[in-house]
Amino acid sequence: MKDKIKSIHQTTDRECFRCSEKRETLVHALKNFPNAQAILTIGGLDGRIINNDYSSCTDCREEAMRVLDKKSMINFITILWNSWNNRNNVLFQGKEEAALVIWPKILSKEFRIHNMINRPILLPHIVDKKLEKLPTDKVKINFDAAIINDKIGFGVLTRDSIGFVMGGSYGFKEDRMQTEWVVLCAFEESIKVVRSLNIGKAIFETDCASLANKIKNRRVDITIMGQHINNLFKSKDMINNAEFKWVNHNCNKATNFMSYYAITNNCNLNFGLDYPTAIHDFLMVDAIN
């Protein structure tokens, strides 16, 4: 133990290569601590707060305040602090708690720091956004899901590089599932659409941050859903080279509409270029707005 303390003392005054601070801060340590990111992933955050490159270490906390409201910011700091303590336990006691153990100890299961209804502490930066044109050989697949009482619905829409709708599907069934599993069902339906249209290079987009994280970390995710996703990829070679992105909910309005449309109208449909008028009208309005 004395040797460990001595080794720490020798490095406490080491200059931080990130922002030239004299001492390594909490944020610095967590940047390279995988368990911290795993804990955030369980909570549904997509990792951008600690993954982004900042010119100064204080920028990380400032960015968090532009994303999180006051209550969520307190919980975010709690997560980081408990991760720091866990990191110290690894150093002094040689044992580390799993992310799935730390999360329930410090926060409730209902807490989701990517889905706040209150305003953030600081106003977000205004960024000019423009339409990003896809490479000509890639196809974008958006998918979403909805739940109404004991019914679940899904919507899948495919677009080419210039935004032209190539096809998709929507449907419903009577079942009870947790939200993440419903979105996963929508993902499985989107794979069927990709196969039916013989799409070679696909870019899947979802606004469900927790599912996007599980897909990204499927090889190390030991949860039931993580293993299900991993097995899905093993059985579908066609999606191993696909890209997966988390997008804002505004980018998934069409598939969200299709999900509710399927439930309220009790209908299932796979379509190509000849999709229903209601879907066409919504797509036109969404494109204009």
Please state, rounded to an integer, the average pLDDT across all residues of the chain: 71
Alpha carbon distance 110, 207 (integer Å): 18
Nearest to 123 by CA among 75, 67, 71, 77: 67
Q: Is 155 in the same domain as 98?
A: no
Q: Are residues 82 and 143 in the same domain?
A: no
Domain count within the chain: 2
The pLDDT score that the predictor gives to residue 207 is 80
Can you tell me which residue has the tokens 């677009």?
A: 159
Mind listing the pLDDT tens digit for each residue in 188-235? 888 888 888 888 788 888 888 778 878 877 777 777 888 888 887 776
Distance, in Å, from the CA atom of 156 to the CA atom of 205, rounded to the nearest integer, reads 10
In a domain, 127, yes or no: no
pLDDT > 90: what percent of the chain?
Answer: 0
Q: What is the pLDDT of residue 283?
A: 75
Q: Which domain holds residue 32?
A: 2-106
Q: Is residue 123 part of a domain?
A: no
Asked if 152 and 270 sit in the same domain, the reply is yes
Based on the domain organization, do 71 and 205 belong to the same domain? no
Residue 11 has pLDDT above 70, yes or no: no
pTM here is: 0.55
* More confident: 138 or 8: 138
Report residue 12's pLDDT band, with 50, 70 and 90 as the boundaries.
very low
Position 255 confidence tier, pLDDT thresholds 50, 70, 90: confident
Please indicate, yes or no, whether residues 177 and 102 belong to a single structural domain of this protein.
no
102 and 159 housed in the same domain: no
Residues 95 and 230 in one domain: no
CATH number, domain with residue 215: 3.30.420.10
**Statement to judge: residues 100 and 156 lie in one domain:** no
Identify the band that residue 101 occupies on the pLDDT scale cut at 50, 70 and 90: low
Alpha helix stretches (DSSP H) within the chain = 2-11, 26-31, 34-42, 48-51, 58-67, 70-93, 99-106, 179-196, 209-216, 224-235, 253-265, 277-288
Q: Is the pLDDT of residue 182 over 60?
A: yes
Model confidence at 1, pLDDT cuts 50, 70, 90, reads: very low
